[in-house]
Amino acid sequence: MSLILSIDDHPEHHNMLNKILKKMGYTVISAFTGEEGVEMARTGYPDIIILDLKMPDMDGFEVLENLKKNDSTKNIPILILSAVSEKNDILKAKKYDIIGYLTKKLDYNKLQERIEKAINYSKRKRIEVENKKTVTISKHTGRVIVSFKNSLRNENLKKDVNSTFTESFLRSVKDDDLILDLRYLPEFHPDDVNYIHEITGLIRDREVFIVAGRYYGKIMLETEFDERIQTFISFNDMETYSYNK
């Protein structure tokens, strides 16, 4: 089910939009300030953002500016839903590569059409981006899996690690099992153990699971983690451990 983030400072607009979108079959999360919306976009991975322009403190244009300059949010399709339709606002918003500009006198068919097109675009774009990434994140009920898809000595991977394990990301997954998936690594060098220690050092004061696949033996021979780091060959082993705790 696709996830839509609504950013608007009016509760009544959220309530109206939530009812409409849920009837269309979408899951909706709501932000009531621009700052909150930017944070939820970075940590919630929505398929599309519906944004109001006229908000206090951080207005819609500042939100657009923030979203477009951040690597994790710049490709999320954004639909403007505003109470005003001034030509200058429309032209200014279009400079941020929005997918559409609708007024709050909603044409439901047009809204659904724009959203469906945006979500299809979002899915295609995510596939393109994920194929290029060295670090990917997948969220499931109760667990977050961070997969590494290039050598741990690759500089691009190290940049992706630093941009992934931010304080806001760690806060957003604090109630989930956090799993580092090393099965896709093309190789594993003994020195890579040092970098795994660096990565787990970024994830403080919590249990971390490592699924190592064929590299399990090498990791266990080369290092000894503290008790909060648990290493497994497969997800099945991890499940067995979890059930027996």
Find the angle CA(140)-CA(144)-CA(147) to the nearest 5 degrees: 115
Topology adopted by domain 3-130: Rossmann fold (3.40.50)
Positions in the chain short of pLDDT 70? 1, 129-131, 242-245
In CATH terms, are 3-130 and 135-244 the same topology?
Answer: no
Output the average pLDDT for the chain.
Answer: 87
Q: What pLDDT digit, counting tens, does each position of 12-59 carry?
A: 888 988 888 888 888 899 999 999 999 999 888 788 999 999 888 899
Give pTM, 2 decimals.
Answer: 0.56
Q: What ranges in 24-179 are assigned the alpha helix state H?
A: 34-44, 60-69, 87-94, 108-132, 155-164, 167-172
Share of the chain above pLDDT 70, in %: 96
Distance CA 109, CA 155 (A): 47
Instruction: State the amino acid at position 126 in one-letter form.
Output: R
What helix, strand, coil percent values describe the chain, rounded to 5? 45, 20, 35
Architecture, CATH, for domain 135-244: 2-Layer Sandwich (3.30)
pLDDT of residue 243: 61
What's the CA gap between 222 and 242, in Å, rounded?
A: 25
Q: Give the start-to-end residue ranges of the domains of the chain.
A: 3-130, 135-244
pLDDT of residue 242: 66
